[in-house]
Homo-oligomer: A and B are copies of this chain.
Amino acid sequence: MNPADADALIMQPIGHVRSPYQDVSEIPKGLGAQHQAEGWLDIRPELEAGLTDIEGFSHLIVIWVFDRSEGCSLTAQPPSDARPHGVFATRSPRRPNPIGLTVVELLERQGVRLHVRGVDMLDGTPILDLKPYLSNVPPERLRRGWLAEAEARRDAIPSGR
């Protein structure tokens, strides 16, 4: 990607994730993976005023960068399914823009350090933005596509007939 392109957007990390994961192999993946790991979001000290009142929210949306992912593939075979899917229908790291998104639970704020539960990022991951998590999609209107189908295949009890 050419930074001279008129459409190019240049971003700078607002901080970094401190997580127990040094290698992607350590991060729980696939169907039913639980992300209960605790970690810290270390925000740049000069941005501290931007965190005012954030402790009132139980959950935050963290927008971050897959900084150790290389290249892009338009189809991806996720760990939760043996079939390939379009990259925009997955959470694959090999995306046109290597943006990751995680909803974490905010446990505590210590100045510019946010103690959170639910990290699934590598230690040192650059953070681009934080937003309060405000609302859910009504459960009766949520369809989960190939992921629901893969779960159904996993859960199917083989018939004796």
Give A contacts to B, CB under 8 Å: 1, 3, 5, 7-14, 43, 47, 49-59, 61, 63, 65, 74-75, 84-91, 95-97, 99, 101, 103, 105, 126, 128-134, 136-137, 139, 141-149
Contacts of A86 in B (CB 8 A): 49-54
Identical copies in the complex: 2
Contacts of A87 in B (CB 8 A): 50
**How far is it, in angstroms, between the C-alpha of A49 and the C-alpha of B95 when the chains are bound?**
12
Check B49–A101 contact: CB distance below 8 A: no
**How far is it, in angstroms, between the C-alpha of A101 and the C-alpha of B142 when the chains are bound?**
18
Check A146–B53 contact: CB distance below 8 A: yes
How close is A67's CB to chain B, nearest CB, in angstroms?
8
Check A89–B7 contact: CB distance below 8 A: no
How close is A15's CB to chain B, nearest CB, in angstroms?
10
Q: A12-B8, A96-B129, A97-B11 are in contact. Are A49 and B63 (CB under 8 A)?
A: no
Contacts of A149 in B (CB 8 A): 56
14 residue pairs from A and B, CB less than 8 Å apart: A5-B12, A7-B12, A8-B10, A8-B12, A11-B11, A14-B96, A47-B96, A50-B86, A56-B148, A59-B142, A88-B131, A99-B129, A132-B144, A134-B147
**How far is it, in angstroms, between the C-alpha of A74 and the C-alpha of B53 when the chains are bound?**
12
How close is A158's CB to chain B, nearest CB, in angstroms?
25
How close is A14's CB to chain B, nearest CB, in angstroms?
5
How close is A161's CB to chain B, nearest CB, in angstroms?
29
**How far is it, in angstroms, between the C-alpha of A14 and the C-alpha of B1 when the chains are bound?**
12
